[in-house]
Copies of this chain bind each other. A is one copy, B any other.
Amino acid sequence: MKQRKTGNITLQEVANHAGVSKTTASVALNGGDYVSEETRHKVIVAAQELGYVYNRAAASLRSNASSTVGLIIPDLDNSFYTALLSGVNTALNKLENTILLGSTNESLTVQDRLISSMLEYRVCGIILFAVLGSSNELIARIKNLGIPVVLVNRNFSEFTCDYIGIDDVLAGQLATEHLVERGHRRIAYLGGTSELSSWYKRREGYERVLKEHQIQIDESLIIEGPPTQESGYKLAEEILKLDKKPSGIFCFNDVIAIGAMMKLEENGIIPGRDIAIVGVDDIPEASIIKPKLTTVSSYPFLRGVKAANILHERINGYAGEPQSIIIEPQLIIRDSSNSERINQ
């Protein structure tokens, strides 16, 4: 697992070679002010000649500082998360930070292990998409060590932590309103589980719109399940079994929508023609699948960028109150919601 490495060139050797002291060499190499350009040049040349490679472990140990950011997401096979990762990466690249990446696969145990590991690495901050069932203690543990955390999913309002998310109530409203406008009155809310605060909020938006339009809420149309594509596929069966089928489906997210669309189509129900589908997230697949998926964008990439930027502020010592940045979701109308026909 571990590898022993052989005699690397040290700063001392560079200093000797350049005929200066270790300190001077250090300052010269790190762009400090108090060295003459001549000396700096000498040192840089010496470093190059010797093939010197800066040792961050040593520097980090001594200065008690690091420039590595930990990023923990639940699933690398879900493009929502990889889009988030891509955003974080883009922002962090500019800031010259390096990403230590971990994927939890929705396991609390793995998440604990990853966080412990990152603390051992003395990351300068953590961006966390916490798995279901994560406790407040977990975050407290990190923060107590003085390491800033930015949450990308849940807002544990009970304590202090920066948070970046979308307005989930609004997301539910936008999706549902769109369906209602297209004439649908039996609208299902498919997938996601009540353990997710975002599930509750989207449901709240969904119910609010229904009520506004005097549409009776039908509990049989609210079907819970894990937020994955396979789950969407399975959950669509529940829809098919229903006596009074919905004519529109508001899916908790895009991967569920995609899974459901596949199942429906296999059963001869063509999304966008026989049934209207709306998702949430706007992952890349949403515009690839056919019919193209109408969805409420939750801006995964942008969230990644913003998460990295907030974290950066914190790392630089910003000590203001924890912020909750709430991005306004946006309805993106494509083809899956074209159906205006109302079953039943």
Q: A residues bordering B, Cβ < 8 Å?
A: 1-6, 8, 51, 53-58, 60-61, 63-68, 76-77, 79, 82-83, 85-86, 89, 93, 95-103, 110, 116-122, 124-125, 144-148, 258, 284-285, 288-290, 312, 315-317
Known A-B contacts: A6-B146, A288-B288. Give 15 more (CB < 8 A).
Answer: A1-B95, A3-B66, A3-B316, A5-B146, A55-B61, A56-B120, A57-B58, A76-B82, A76-B85, A77-B284, A98-B118, A101-B101, A258-B288, A289-B290, A290-B290
Contacts of A53 in B (CB 8 A): 116, 119-120, 145
- Most chain B Cβ neighbours within 10 Å, of A118, A121, A125: A121
A98 engages B95 (CB within 8 Å): no
Distance A146 CA – B53 CA, assembled complex (angstroms):
13
Distance A82 CA – B81 CA, assembled complex (angstroms):
10
Distance A343 CA – B99 CA, assembled complex (angstroms):
51
- Would you give the shortest CB distance from A144 to chain B, in whole angstroms? 8
- Count this chain's copies in the assembly: 2
Contacts of A61 in B (CB 8 A): 55, 57-58, 61
Known A-B contacts A1-B316, A100-B98, A315-B1; A8 and B145 likewise in contact (beta carbons under 8 Å): yes
Known A-B contacts A86-B76, A289-B290; A99 and B96 likewise in contact (beta carbons under 8 Å): no
A67 engages B1 (CB within 8 Å): yes
Distance A124 CA – B3 CA, assembled complex (angstroms):
6
Known A-B contacts A65-B5, A145-B8; A76 and B89 likewise in contact (beta carbons under 8 Å): yes
Distance A76 CA – B82 CA, assembled complex (angstroms):
7
Contacts of A316 in B (CB 8 A): 1, 3
Q: Nearest 4 A-B pairs (CB), nearest first?
A: A2-B65, A290-B290, A76-B86, A3-B124
Contacts of A98 in B (CB 8 A): 100-102, 117-118, 121
A55 engages B1 (CB within 8 Å): no
- Would you give the shortest CB distance from A83 to chain B, in whole angstroms? 7
- Would you give the shortest CB distance from A222 to chain B, in whole angstroms? 26
Contacts of A258 in B (CB 8 A): 288
Distance A315 CA – B4 CA, assembled complex (angstroms):
9
Distance A148 CA – B55 CA, assembled complex (angstroms):
18
Contacts of A4 in B (CB 8 A): 63-65
Distance A98 CA – B60 CA, assembled complex (angstroms):
18
Q: Of the candidates B58, B82, B288, which one forms a contact with A82 in the assembled complex, judged by CB atoms under 8 Å apart?
A: B82
Q: Of the candidates B2, B77, B284, which one forms a contact with A63 in the assembled complex, judged by CB atoms under 8 Å apart?
A: B2
- Would you give the shortest CB distance from A229 to chain B, in whole angstroms? 9
- Would you give the shortest CB distance from A147 to chain B, in whole angstroms? 8
